[in-house]
A and B are shown apart, each in its own frame.
Chain A
Amino acid sequence: MSRQELLSPEGLRVDGRRANELRRISCRASVLNSADGSSYYEQGNTKVLVAVYGPREPRTKSLAQHDHAAVNVEFNVAPFSTSERRKRSKGDKRLLEIASFVKQTFQGAIQTAVYPRSQIDIYIHLLQHDGGTLETCINAATLALVDAGISMVDYVCACTAGFIDETPVLDLNFVEESSIETPDLTVAVLPRSGNIALLQMESRLHSSKLEDVLELATEGCKHIHKKLDQAVLEAANELAKKLS
């Protein structure tokens, strides 16, 4: 897209952020009544809606496992999510890849052994796309799972970081992400233990730089954790208000 520098000599990014700043995050749990848990999550211009169903009886018996719940993730992108309207088929490899990343992340984080012979469905819908799809999906799914009351080891918070002009850069937007030279590292951490649930990178990055970038991303995850916690608290308050 823009040929302009992604990080100006003055240290400003195309959207006015500095290298270590996250985009604005706003999120809300319990946005859908029909689902067991749901969330709406915005990180800059990337907007995601997640619905969680379950634990419930598996659709087919073959999916049922005797000692733990099956996690099923479906990821969809709205055709209007980018300025050029584009319909994606269900078999789109890119979508399946993201779904499988999310699934792997949550298979570890959800205490699946608590729900044997059941299935947990996570439906993710990307409404607007402006970079950082995977991180927003994971964060939104966490919120929705918490909203559904599914027992988890911890929150899962994800954040991306890149490396532009010898500087680690937090939370890439679409313009930054689509530049070929920018490595794009997505980290999902369990904030309390600091364990990493997912680490995924595109493009190349010199190994000596990885630590800095990883550290920055982990730092971002902590901020996101606070945001999510706040949203959970709000939802709980709201519920409490209704109950009282």
Chain B
Amino acid sequence: MLGTRTENVAFRRGKRQGLMMSVTERYLRQDIPCAHKSCQQCPQNNGLAQRGLPQLSDSGMILTPDASVVSRYIELLEHSQALVNLVFCQSVVDALDRRNRTRTIRNVRGIAADPRRTSVVFANEVFDQTHVDAALPNRDSRAAMRAAAWYKEHLDGAGQRVVLLTLKASKSGQYADYRQPGVEVWQLAEFLGEFHPALIEHYASIAESTKDGDMDITEMTPAEYAQARLLAKAQSGYPSHLSPSEIEDGLRSGLLVRGNIRVLQPGGAMRTESQGIIDRGGAADTPDILIVGRTALNRACTGDTVIVRLLTRAEENVDSRDLAADPDSDEAEDDNEAQAVEQIDAGEETSLDNTRKPVRGVVVGVAERKWRPFVATLQLDEAGGSRHLAVPVDSSVPKIRIHYMDTAAIAGKYFVVAIDEWPADSQYPQGHFVRVIGPVGNLDTEVDVILVERQIAVSQSALKFSLASMREMPISTTQCPWSPSAEEVARRRDLRDSLIFSIDPKGSQDIDDAVSMRKTASGYELGVHIADVSQFVLPGSATDTEAMARGTTVYLADRRFNMIPEILSEQICSLRGLTDRYAVSVIWDLDREYNATGVWFGRTLIRSACEMYYEQAQALLDGATKVEGLDPKLEASLSGSIVELAKAMRVLRQRRYEAGALELASTEIKFTFDKESGAISELLPKSSLEIHRVIEEAMVFANAAVARRIHEKFPGAALLRRHRSPDSERFARLVDAARTKGFDVDCSSNAALADSLRRITQASAGDPDVVFLAKSMATLAMQEAEYFATGDCGSDQYLHYGLALGFYTHFTSPIRRYADIIVHRQLLEAVAASNSELQGVVVGSQKWVSDTTGKLNERNRQSKRAQRESTELFQSRYVVQRTVGSGQEHLVAEGVVAEIRTNGLIVYVPKFGLRGPVHLRDSSGQIKLPLSVLSGNERDSDSFIEGCSEFTVDTKQLSIRLPMNVPVFQLGSQVLRFSVFDHVRVSLRVLETKRRRPPVYLTLVSRASSKANDMRAYRSTLPSLDKTFRISAAAGSAGSARKEASEAENATSSVSSRTTVNERPIVGKSSDAYTVLQKFGEMSLFETHCDVQTL
């Protein structure tokens, strides 16, 4: 059956070389059917019917659109049901294929499969009688003409009219040269005017919208097209980077600037192009650099160290052009789902003040890549094949081009991708698939994703301790519990007779601190006793190396990953009641005014009299007797100690506040889990008792004392913790917001700020959410606290701003922080109680300490982000569980407006401790004000009031004018206003997505409700704090840190989750839109929580 063989020549872009000619053979057949219903000559027509393909009907004329019509007016052909009996030539389809117009081909196939359209694809290319030699000029037009002519000849008996539709002028156009008898050539517009006048309008609108593009593929021959694309690629590809010597010269002469870049992918109406920001502190002489557009970014990725050339004002205007989107269908094809997610995520940002505009720049080189393995999901393109785009979970990372054969194995799963390179001619970086993590939506997988993304570990199982480190562990079993060695007992100060006790959350396993307080002749003796981890974790051991690499114990909402093996953290180091334990103690002699007259540091042996939990201790402090679970014999003495301790701590705390310590907001959300199903049964803000603050203060006191001592011994190498004073400009948002409520905020110093916050607290005593928000805004504005080696900076920079202390360090949680272990070693070295000769050399080296603090700060930051993401994960799961899972449609809660954005609000929901965006305007600028604003009924929150206008936004207020026909008696005014601190009711939802964990977003239900039930419920959970403490509640203490550690212990039943913000750099001091955008991108929903421990 195969007839003559011809060859088909196509041009494609090769893998290596530029343009490649590919030759495929083609067989010309005799048996191509005309597919006409009443045709008797083509026996194969029956075959088409059997395949379920439509046939041409015998009514009306046969229309043969040529490539120009199909490529440009496919939409018209597709949607105009009146156009029937279309014959699409295979030559046209091939021509489209050569231009990668996959979607157009799909539309053609759609028409040809629709029985109502009685249209067919005619394989003229492989049909002997219609084949046209490839070498002829205007070959595609000739082929279309030949096909039409064949139809005319073939069906001439039936008097069939055959029309060739084209965009070329019908009379003098190219078809004139090789016109075939019987075929009517019509220009599309004329044809429609003559036969389908109803379609003219549609035609005109398409003609208008496709005027400028290269929609009409007949403008160029295939070879020209391929050539043009290649050239376009070469020209519009990324500019090449400068050579190292050019860069060096440029940097030296000051023409080029070096910096770390942060890239934001396009999202939302505000950011249609990628943007990069280089944060240079925002000072007047070094403004931040903004880089707009993919060309200007020139392949830089977030975190890279780049070399930038600053643009002059004149260049800025010219340089706004961007790379044209690659017409390759799979690249241009962005699915809507991802876009929707991005929009919610990115939110939009009002530019608060543009006084300090960043300068514009272009990237001319990348000094150092910061490519880590990324977790990604697959963007499936329908064409299949082996080349795919991986969409990283981290939205600041561009999509990555990967080769992978078995798509089915990785679709719908998270997998790890590594970037290999980013060649200048490639729109996306090239990478490769590394390994699968697991299916999207699975809890364990999601946790693994967090661990990989935060570079904590490659998976959960990788966080088990190695055999080598287990071998180093002392032995302790129930039959043969560990006990102190005689040698150590002799060496240590024996405090087993003193009354020492520990206060921790209920059920804690790793108790790393205990306290003691007793009256002496001259005043008091206060002791803080910390588990002696450094006794067991020797420098250079496998356990030590591992602990240093981990840096900190990582707490996630439902699980944790220990820094040191459980046998130490839960047994041998843990200061359990009624057992002998090694400790490192700080013991002060206080006079009657609680001034320290002397302090002793050293290794001790203690025997805690009692492990209490906070509620018990609080009960004793409140003067209760017969507290549940306590030994009645001990009660009296414990109670005395606790009361004395509390008195002392109140005074110490008051002193710190007078010195300017800040009281910041800290909300922790606690998830409680249903033991059987593992579902989240409750989500509660954690309560806070006075006794928490007492313990915190004791820890701060100990930390500060140790910080001074180690600084004395190691003036250049002491590991301290500082909190730099923030730039007052960062407080602009708080100042603005507070002003709308009639408060003045003075942020000139920490004392002034503390005072302002205190006034807000007092004035809005009935509204804890407002107080909370104000404090969290203050927290936001601050920099993160960090570890440093004292030799790295002048002593004036040691200050801890939040705590108002000149020296501060972390000493009190060695079980869960590596910094504390170093501090322990330094302290023991300082008091000559070290147990290792070499130890002093290492911990006394400034370089080592300085390097280590850098790593620890990074580990801390990552672990904080992991915590936050895990909270986010569980909040999202909780919302799913409460809405979709339980069949309820709405989960309505009371919230407070935290910010105003250009397209809506950011609302904080105290009940669940989450922040989320409320969109009041969609991406096309339509105002979406739900009907429930008027009715107050959440069921109306999905329908919108039409005709709203005057959407105005400034930094303090967002207002919408309702249409005149809407009754507004509940609102009192036709203009609806939202300002920061307003109460609103919102419905919590999650965005359905197959790609990653569903983000939570909110929809507005109504304005402030009159004392909603939610609100009362929330308030009742707030602790009734002691008045003085409420006002002077602390902004920082190790106590809360410790509390968290132990709380997470009982991971099975209740787990606390800490969400923190001030560990992350609040980048960009100027509050331009871009930095703020990024800030919120990073912080996502949870920036409101300040974890005091990190200060």
Footprint of B on A, CB under 8 Å?
A: 1-5, 8-12, 14-18, 21, 23-24, 44-45, 83-84, 130, 173-175, 179-181
Contact = CB atoms under 8 A, between A and B. Distances in A.
B24 A173 contact: yes
B48 A10 contact: yes
B93 A12 contact: no
27 contacts: A1-B12, A3-B102, A3-B329, A3-B385, A9-B51, A9-B112, A9-B113, A9-B121, A10-B53, A10-B123, A11-B47, A12-B123, A12-B126, A14-B24, A16-B26, A16-B27, A16-B29, A16-B125, A16-B126, A21-B27, A24-B2, A45-B24, A83-B23, A84-B14, A84-B15, A174-B24, A180-B385
In the A-B complex, the 6 residue pairs with the smallest Cβ-Cβ separation, listed nearest first, are A16-B126, A16-B27, A3-B383, A4-B97, A45-B25, A15-B26
A21 B1 contact: yes
B386 interface: yes
Interface of B is mostly: mixed
Contacts of B94: 4
Contacts of B22: 1, 83
Contact of A180 (B12, B47, B48, B384): B384
Given A1-B12, A10-B53, A83-B22, A15 B383 contact: no
Contacts of A24: 2, 5, 27
Contacts, number: 86
Given A1-B12, A2-B97, A16-B125, A9 B24 contact: no
Contacts of B112: 9
B21 interface: yes
Contact of A10 (B14, B21, B121): B121
B651 interface: no
A84 B102 contact: no
Nearest to A22: B2
A4 B93 contact: yes
Interface of A is mostly: loop
B51 A11 contact: yes
A4 B10 CA distance: 13
Interface string B90-114: 0001100100101001000100110
Contacts of A173: 24-25
A111 B20 CA distance: 46
Interface in B1-33: 1-2, 5, 8, 12, 14-17, 20-29
Contacts of B26: 15-16
Nearest to B27: A16
Given A2-B97, A16-B126, A179 B385 contact: yes
A17 B21 CA distance: 22
Contacts of B2: 16-17, 21, 24
Nearest to B15: A84
Given A8-B121, A9-B109, A179 B384 contact: yes
B14 A15 contact: no
A180 B27 contact: no
A9 B53 contact: yes
Contacts of A4: 93-94, 97, 105
Contacts of A2: 97
A129 to B, nearest CB: 12
Contacts of B25: 15, 23, 44-45, 130, 173
A50 B16 CA distance: 30
Contacts of B232: none
Contacts of A9: 51, 53, 109, 112-113, 121
B405 interface: yes
Contacts of B14: 83-84
Most buried by B among A3, A9, A12, A181: A3
Contacts of B407: 180
A84 B24 contact: no
Contacts of A84: 14-17, 20
Contacts of A179: 384-385
B798 to A, nearest CB: 61
Most buried by B among A10, A83, A174: A10
A84 B22 CA distance: 9
A130 B125 CA distance: 20
A15 B24 contact: yes
